[in-house]
Amino acid sequence: MGVEEGRFAQATGYAVATPQARNLRDLRHRRFGQPVYVSADHTLGRKGQVAHWEKFNVRLAVVKFADNVMLGYDPADLLLPTRFDVEGLPVFDIHVCELCQAPFSLTQQEQDAHVAPSRCVACLEEA
C-alpha cells in the first residue's frame, strides 16, 4: 500500500467519533485497520457489524469483516467508535436521528455527559 499524503495522510492511532468526524468520510487522517460500525443495509446483510477499514477513495471504502469477507461501502455509512475499552476493543454507542432516522455515533464527551443529541449533525445544521 502506498503512503497517503495531504488530507488523506495516515494517522498515528485509531480514531474515535468527534463532533467534526463521526464517520469514515469525515475523518481527516485514517489508519489502516480503523474499526468501523456498518450502519447501511447491504445485499449481504452486514448492517450492525463491526469491520476494519482496508482501502479508501472518495466514494468507496473497502472494509474487512472478522470472517475475512471484504465489502465496499459509502464512507459516510461507516461510523467511528465512541471510545476504546481497557483491552483496546472499540465501543460503539450508536443513536438514530429523530428527524431523518440516520444512525450516528456518540462522542466520548456526549456519552460521559449522559446527554445524547437527538438529531444528527446534518439535521442540527439545518435547524
Residues 68-118 pLDDT 10s: 999 999 999 999 999 999 999 999 999 999 999 999 999 999 999 888 889
* 117 in any annotated domain: yes
Q: Count the domains in the chain.
A: 1
* 42 in any annotated domain: yes
* 1 in any annotated domain: no
H or E element in which residue 105 lies: strand 103-105
* 77 in any annotated domain: yes
* 27 in any annotated domain: yes
Alpha-carbon distances of 60 from 6, 14, 72, 103, 122, rounded to whole Å = 18, 19, 6, 19, 21
**d(Cα 81, Cα 35) in Å, to the nearest integer?**
7
pTM of the model: 0.85
Q: Would you say residue 12 has pLDDT above 70? A: no
Q: Would you say residue 2 has pLDDT above 50? A: no
| pLDDT > 70: percent of the chain | 89
| pLDDT > 90: percent of the chain | 65
Q: Would you say residue 8 has pLDDT above 60? A: no
Higher pLDDT, 60 or 4: 60
Domain, as residue range, for 102:
6-126
**d(Cα 112, Cα 6) in Å, to the nearest integer?**
33
* 31 in any annotated domain: yes
**Look-up: residue for cell 463532533?**
19
Any idea of the CA torsion for 73, 78, 84, 90, to the nearest 10 degrees? -50
Select, from the ranges 2-6, 21-25, 114-118, the one with the highest average predicted confidence (pLDDT).
21-25
Mean pLDDT of 4-9: 47
